[in-house]
Amino acid sequence: MALVVQKFGGSSLATPERVISAARRAIAQFQAGNQVVVVCSAQGDQTDQLINLAQQIHERPSPRELDMLKAVGEQMSIALMAIAIHKLAHEAISLTGAQAGIRTDSFHGKAKIKRIDTRRLQQELARGQIVIVAGFQGVDSEDNITTIGRGGSDPTAVALAAALGAERCDIFTDVDGVYTADPRIVPEARWIPRMDYDELLELSSLGAKVMQSRAVELAKRFGVALRVRSSFSDSEGTLVTDLSGEMEYVDVRAAALDLNEAKITIRHVPDQPGVAATIFSEIARANVNVDVIVQNVSERGLADVSFTVMKEDRLLALDVARGLAEKLGASGVESDENTAKVSVIGIGMRSHSGVAERMFRALADEQINILMISTSEIKISCVIEAPNGERALRAVHRAFQLDKDNSDRT
Amino acid sequence: MALVVQKFGGSSLATPERVISAARRAIAQFQAGNQVVVVCSAQGDQTDQLINLAQQIHERPSPRELDMLKAVGEQMSIALMAIAIHKLAHEAISLTGAQAGIRTDSFHGKAKIKRIDTRRLQQELARGQIVIVAGFQGVDSEDNITTIGRGGSDPTAVALAAALGAERCDIFTDVDGVYTADPRIVPEARWIPRMDYDELLELSSLGAKVMQSRAVELAKRFGVALRVRSSFSDSEGTLVTDLSGEMEYVDVRAAALDLNEAKITIRHVPDQPGVAATIFSEIARANVNVDVIVQNVSERGLADVSFTVMKEDRLLALDVARGLAEKLGASGVESDENTAKVSVIGIGMRSHSGVAERMFRALADEQINILMISTSEIKISCVIEAPNGERALRAVHRAFQLDKDNSDRT
């Protein structure tokens, strides 16, 4: 008997009707002869409402207590989902993160899953129950409730699928799969039937809000097949697996635009060995994720070091950068929120050349200036000025003919 | 160092301002040199809102899943209370029922506390924390979340006070102590400074919504001193302890009116030994609490058996009674929701005679007909017709001179 994990996001559970509709999907899998584990996020924008409640009392609530409060959202969802399945005359039982054996570290608000003790889960599955698990939460070694960070129900679902040896993990969301670009910006964007983990990974870190990177990484590491699909339609969604062994005719699978980055520059840093290490280890210590990094050596052994961070981390990163500038004898620090990042991704790039050239040409043809460039084996990103963002995305999408049907070529 | 348990009810925590005001009371106890454990109910009418959410999906949600859902209310309260204490620059940590070691049986929705494993509590108290515990909830032997029934934060507080050897358990509520009668019905009712467990116990089961009986029973059994006081004033409240050893000049301490009873009569039951046992064991099996019981033997070896139950149990009790009537060969079953019960209570009755007579006289003087009578060592109750209820309460209150200051006589 195969096991399928289904994860429902907040919008998929926002109303009683939607909870019941999600319950039907769980039952359909069960009736198809599978064991079913359902992972639920908090309903709608409840997590934000809970944070707001706390902030009415304290602007900066303690992370432990905020986790205690936020965990409530998923606990409500799982109870309601179990009740909905009962209403539809099937057996179901809900389990909190703690009850489902999800053990994490103690980093409240950003905890990582360390292991899953699946005994209770196995036991309930063996009893013929559809098992509903609260996403986003676990407990640390002292049984304190932790949360796994924003969007943290995806990692929960994938980790459960891995721990239970699931055949597939269905991620139900409000989009009906992954597209070659955001259709709100690029109307001719196309649905992608299959893609590789690495491609989704790059896309997820590029502002295409399909899935959390951590969840995709986990899926890749444990070989969990993901299907990203819509709660609101019967489209088959996008199947995400390891395609690296397959013949591949597609160089670029998708393009993306990320408007959530801010650029920070430290001017005139003495260009000595170890300076970059000093800078970025200090920034990492502040728990700020750095994306693109560019270092230009200018005259007299001085370098400008620029990097991008998520906008919400900008002030924190600026603080750290200013301290560093003083310590290193740099001349100053600047920041720019008015940037965008346009990217193309595709594992086919590994075996196709000329992709970077084509991208730069597409931007140049639109008279769009490139501020920073970052490349990986399967991705090219250009940081540009924000007002050019959407135009750049459309130009790049066109240049790689992503609007053409290529499903027969995958 | 003494330990004080403070319990705050839903209305005492209904807004952020009230949570902060409750936090100040906890801190004041802590600053007075005590260890402090705070027990919180769900905010305002949140429990009802949660039940309503479930019922939008299923009219009769499973008790286990309803407990999973309801437990959320107290979890929110404890997190917010801890955050409020932090805001006021003191240390505090919140614990769910599970984390606080509150182990119950598995009777979802009406669970009973079996034991409290105080290790975590002791550890946090020793660290100098004000410890906030979720009322109303615990976990069974399989770690399923249970709730302790309506008003169940009171038993939690008392059980914690007993388990931790607390000096006192303060029950903060929206009344500033116990009164000789409900002041909304009897304007001349007086505040009672001290009373005995048994008196509060009788009052609580008589519709005076001061505290849950179970909590008072627990307090009596473990000798936990209770103080019932207001969250909204600095009045000292009513201290509830064992007064049975004291010289006692008060015969009646208080009077109460209960409008939440329905009367059920089984007509013409064969009057044989064991019939009452059959009837009331069957009703107990349906988990219906019976209050007053009257059996009148009529002609030809037939008896009428009448009893009262809480109104919400009426339909269930009627079902059982009808089944019994058929089985026993009784002639039929009647029920009457239009009843009220007026009572006087006081441990002084044990040593004073003539209390019953005075009460019946007071009702007779008002031309109020008595339908059923029930007496205990410290209580006399008369079931009457509901429209006479308030007038009866005032008459009895006057007859026992409860409106006169008797604080110097206690």
Structure confidence at residue B176 (pLDDT): 84
Kindly state the percentage of chain A with pLDDT values over 90.
69
**Mean local confidence (pLDDT), B181-199:** 93
* Residue A87 pLDDT: 97
Q: What does the pLDDT average to over B133-141?
A: 97
A242 sits in which H/E element = none
Question: Does residue A17 belong to the interface with chain B, where contact is any CB pair within 8 Å?
Answer: no
Bridge partners (DSSP) listed for residue A139: A103, A145
**pLDDT tens for residues B57-114?**
999 999 999 999 999 999 999 999 999 999 999 999 999 999 999 999 999 998 999 9
- B175: Cα separation from own chain's centroid: 14
Mutant choice from A24, A57, A67, A147 vs B, greatest count of B C-beta within 10 A: A57
Whether residue A407 is predicted with pLDDT greater than 60 in this model: the reply is no
pLDDT the model gives residue B407: 54
Q: At residue B404, does pLDDT exceed 50? A: yes
B78: contact with A, CB 8 A cutoff: yes
Domain A263-336 classification at class level: alpha beta
In chain B, which residue's Cα lies nearest the Cα of A87?
B58
Residue A96 has pLDDT above 70, yes or no: yes
Is A62 in contact with B86 (Cβ distance < 8 A)? Answer: yes
Q: Does A54 touch chain B (CB under 8 A)?
A: yes
Identify the CA nearest to B200 among candidates B176, B216, B219: B216
**Residue closest to A391 by CA, chosen among A183, A179, A185:** A185
What mean pLDDT is predicted for residues B236-260? 86
In whole angstroms, give the CA distance from residue A40 to residue A42: 7
CB contact under 8 A, A64 and B96: no
User: B68, A62: Cβ pair inside 8 Å?
Assistant: no
Question: Tell me, what's the pLDDT at B202?
Answer: 86
Q: Which residue of A has its CA nearest to B20?
A: A57
Domain topology for B3-174: Carbamate kinase (3.40.1160)
The CA distance from B117 to the nearest CA of chain A, in Å, is: 14
Q: Does the pLDDT at position B249 exceed 80?
A: no
Kindly state the percentage of chain B with pLDDT values over 90: 69
In this predicted structure, which of A3-17, A340-354, B359-373 has the lowest mean pLDDT?
A340-354
A-chain residue closest to B144, CA distance: A99
Q: Which amino acid is at A257?
A: L
B374 class by beta-carbon count within 10 Å (0-12 exposed, 13-18 middle, 19+ buried): middle
B82 and A99 in contact by Cβ < 8 A? no
Q: Are B218 and B206 in contact (CB under 8 A)?
A: no
Considering chain B, what is the average pLDDT of its residues?
A: 91
The pLDDT score that the predictor gives to residue A409 is 47
Task: Extract the tokens encoding B316.
Answer: 């269930």
| A54/B75 Cβ within 8 A | no
B72 with A75: Cβ contact below 8 A: yes
Asked, colleague to colleague, whether A254-258+339-400 and A263-336 share their fold, the answer is yes
pLDDT of residue A410 exceeding 50, the answer is no
Mean pLDDT value of segment A8-14 = 93
| Residue A202 pLDDT grade (very low, low, confident, very high; cuts 50, 70, 90) | confident
Residue with tokens 């980790």: A159
Burial class (CB in 10 A: 0-12, 13-18, 19+), A336: middle
**CB atoms A65 and B82 under 8 Å:** yes
Instruction: Single out the residue of B97, B69, B70 nearest to residue A134, CA to CA.
Output: B69
Say how many Å lie between the first and final Cα of chain B, rounded.
30
**B20 near A CB under 8 A:** yes
Q: How far is Cα B237 from Cα B228, in angstroms, rounded to an integer?
A: 5
3-state SS class at B7: strand
Instruction: Report the pLDDT value the prediction gives residue B408, as an integer from 0 to 100.
Output: 47
> What is the number of other CB atoms lying within 10 angstroms of the CB of residue B167?
15
**Looking at the predicted structure, is the pLDDT value of residue B222 above 90?**
yes
Assembly ipTM? 0.78
Residue in A16, A69, A82 nearest the CB of B65 = A82
Calpha distance B285→A329 (Å, rounded): 82
* Chain A residues with CB-CB distance to B144 below 8 A: 99
Domain ranges for chain B, please list them: 3-174
pLDDT confidence of A223, banded at 50, 70, 90? very high
Which of B19, B56, B65 has its CB closest to that of A79?
Answer: B65
Q: Which CATH number is A254-258+339-400's, of 3.90.420.10, 2.60.40.3880, 3.30.70.100, 3.30.2130.10?
A: 3.30.2130.10
A302: its two tokens: 């001085």
Mutation target for A interface from B43, B60, B78, B80: give the one with most A CBs within 10 A.
B80
Identify the weakest region by mean pLDDT among A20-29, B116-125, B335-344.
B335-344
Q: What Rg value do the Cα atoms of chain A yield, rounded?
A: 23
Kindly tell me if the per-residue pLDDT of A408 is higher than 80. Answer: no
Q: Please judge whether B57 and A93 are an interchain contact, meaning their C-beta atoms are less than 8 angstroms apart.
A: no
Closest CB to A80: pick one of B53, B76, B84.
B53
Instruction: Read off the pTM.
Output: 0.79
**Contact between chains at B84 and A145 (C-beta distance less than 8 A):** no
**pLDDT, averaged across chain A:** 91
Three-state DSSP class for residue B377 = coil
Average pLDDT over every residue of B110-130: 96
What residues in B contact A72, CB-CB < 8 Å? 72, 75-76, 79
pLDDT score, position A143: 96
> What's the Cα-to-Cα distance from B226 to each of B215, B239, B276, rounded to whole Å?
10, 6, 37
Give the mean model confidence (pLDDT) for residues B353-363.
88
Whether the pLDDT of residue A406 is over 70: the answer is: no
> Distance between CA atoms of A42 and A156, rounded to whole angstroms?
13
The DSSP call for residue A407 is G
Site from B18, B24, B58 to mutate, A interface, most A CB atoms within 10 angstroms: B58
Taking the Cβ of residue B72 and every Cβ of chain A, the question of whether any pair is shorter than 8 Å is answered with yes
Q: Pick from A312-321, B90-99, B205-214 the range whose average pLDDT is largest.
A: B90-99
Q: Which residues of B touch A144 (CB under 8 A)?
A: 99
- Which residues does chain A have within 8 Å of residue B78's beta carbon, measured at their own beta carbons? 68
A75 touches chain B (CB under 8 A): yes
> Nearest CA of chain A to the CA of B276: how many Å?
39
Give the model's pLDDT for residue B410. Answer: 45
Higher-pLDDT residue of B300, A284: A284
Q: Which of A345, A394, A330, A343 is nearest to A372 (CA)?
A: A343
Calculated CA dihedral for residues B171, B174, B176, B180, nearest 10 degrees: -100
Q: Residue B139: what pLDDT?
A: 98
Cβ distance A69 to B53 less than 8 Å, yes or no, reads no
Asked if residue A295 has pLDDT above 60, the reply is yes
Q: For residue B353, what pLDDT is reported?
A: 76
A contacts of B53 (beta carbons < 8 Å): 16, 76, 80
